Each structure stands twice: as C-alpha cells, then as structure tokens.
C-alpha cells in the first residue's frame, strides 16, 4: 500500500486525492464533506472504499483526504489536452451558435489543476490536520448554458421545457450510454470548500469560465 511505502520512506504527511464522486450529494443544496450518502456506482464506490481503507490504516504520519471536484487545466506539456479540450469546446460553441435555446441542465462544481495542487501542498505542510477530509472546489457553479456562454463570449438562454422534452425521450432508452448521459444532465452536483478554506486559508483563484475563454 502506498501509505506504508510513504511511512518506510520517512514521510511526515500523506494526502490521498479522492473525488466528490465518493458520495452522492443531497438534491437541491450545496454539499459539504459530511453531506450525502456513499456512492453506489463503480467509480464513486471505489473512491469511497479507498477512503475508508486508508482512514482505517494505522499510521505514524499524518493522513488526509482531498475530494476534488471536476478538474480542469493544462500542464506545461499538455498540447494534446489543449487539442482535445479545444475540439470538444469547439463543438459546444458550434451548438451554441446554431441553437437559439439550450436545455436547462443541472449545475456542476469545478476546480483548476493549479488550485488543487496548491491545496495539496498546503495540506501536506499543515501539522494541525490529520485524518481529515476536505472538498476542493471553486465557489462558482456551471450549467450547460453557462459553459456555452463562456465559450461564445455571449449569453445563451436555457429552456426548462426543452430539457423536459429531451428527458422524456431519453428515459425509455436509459440503458443506452447516450440516453444515460442525457439523464445525468438533469442532476446538479454542487460542493462547498468552506472547510478547506477555514483550515488552510486556501482559496480557489481560478475560474472555469476564464479557462474556457482562454482555449476557445
């Protein structure tokens, strides 16, 4: 196990990067670390089990967890990432140009790679933090219309009626991957990093909308 390897190497701190997907957030509210229930899907449940196993392990070094929201950003050698993101965002921008309305999707939380790394560094140095769980997320939430608006540089309208029509068509086909993706658009996943800000005097400096504009 990585924790044991870290201990043998003399590490004073071990930080596990988990995901907000480890728990299903309550509907209609911003979730903290203690809110929601353990995830049951394969990815989320694996993260939840990893957290439980790690926190149950006896250790001499400090052990902490960061549940990250969806991460965005480009590393210094990330030309491929920029290309993939650019193509995907180009498609969304094209849809925004030809569609007068977009479905009113749920909103999601994001975190920049640079802000996440800063949280990891601060937590590794924080001697007062041990066996704690923190969420890393920026304070702004984004739905499909907000994402396309940022790409285009102009406001795009969202329609709840259009969303209901799409969902009605998708529900009988929920076994198909594309139908499941459409159904997931309805859900909001909103997270607060208040505990992390209070414990480490950390704050998310970047914003997803600025990132979208920079690569679109």
183 confidence band (pLDDT: 50, 70, 90): low
Rounded to the nearest 10°, the torsion over CA 165, 168, 173, 178 is: 40
Q: How far is CA 105 from CA 74, 93, 159, in A?
A: 26, 16, 9
58 confidence band (pLDDT: 50, 70, 90): confident
Check whether 194 has a pLDDT greater than 90. yes
Check whether 32 has a pLDDT greater than 80. yes
List of domains in the chain: 2-215 (3.40.50.720)
Check whether 76 has a pLDDT greater than 70. no
CA distance 88 to 94: 10
80 confidence band (pLDDT: 50, 70, 90): very low
Check whether 81 has a pLDDT greater than 50. no
113-171 tens-digit pLDDT:
999 999 999 999 999 999 999 999 999 999 888 888 887 777 777 777 777 777 777 78
Q: What average pLDDT is seen over the chain?
A: 84
* Cβ atoms within 10 Å of 140's Cβ, excluding its own: 13
Enter the pTM of the model.
0.82
- So what's the pLDDT on residue 69? 97
- So what's the pLDDT on residue 176? 78
Q: Which two tokens stand for residue 126?
A: 């924080």
CA distance 182 to 174: 9
- So what's the pLDDT on residue 152? 76
Mean pLDDT calculated for residue range 19-26: 95
Q: Which residue has the higher pLDDT, 216 or 75?
A: 216
Mean pLDDT calculated for residue range 200-205: 94
Mean pLDDT calculated for residue range 96-101: 59
Check whether 191 has a pLDDT greater than 90. yes
Mean pLDDT calculated for residue range 52-65: 92
Check whether 177 has a pLDDT greater than 50. yes
Check whether 102 has a pLDDT greater than 90. no
- Helices and strands (DSSP H and E) totals, the chain: 9, 10
Q: Which residue has the higher pLDDT, 164 or 73?
A: 73
């Amino acid at each position: 196990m990585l924790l044991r390897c870290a201990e043998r190497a003399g590490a004073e701190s071990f930080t596990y990067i988990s995901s907000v997907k480890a728990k299903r957030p309550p509907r209609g509210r911003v979730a903290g670390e203690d809110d929601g229930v353990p995830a049951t899907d394969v990815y989320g449940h694996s993260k939840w089990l990893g957290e439980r196993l790690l926190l149950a392990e006896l250790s001499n070094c400090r052990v902490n967890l960061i549940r990250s929201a969806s991460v965005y950003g480009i590393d210094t050698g990330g030309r491929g990432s920029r290309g993939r993101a650019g193509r995907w965002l180009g498609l969304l921008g094209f849809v925004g140009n030809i569609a007068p309305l977009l479905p009113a999707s749920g909103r999601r939380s994001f975190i920049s790679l640079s802000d996440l790394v800063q949280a990891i560094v601060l937590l590794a140095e924080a001697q007062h933090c041990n066996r704690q769980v923190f969420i890393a997320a920026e304070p702004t939430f984004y739905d499909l219309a907000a994402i396309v608006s940022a790409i285009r540089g102009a406001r795009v309208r969202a329609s709840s009626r259009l969303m209901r029509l799409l969902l009605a068509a998708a529900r009988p086909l929920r076994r198909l991957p594309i139908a499941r993706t459409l159904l997931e658009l309805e859900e909001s996943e909103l997270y607060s990093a208040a505990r992390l800000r209070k414990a480490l005097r950390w704050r998310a400096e970047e914003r997803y909308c600025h990132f979208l504009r920079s690569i679109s």
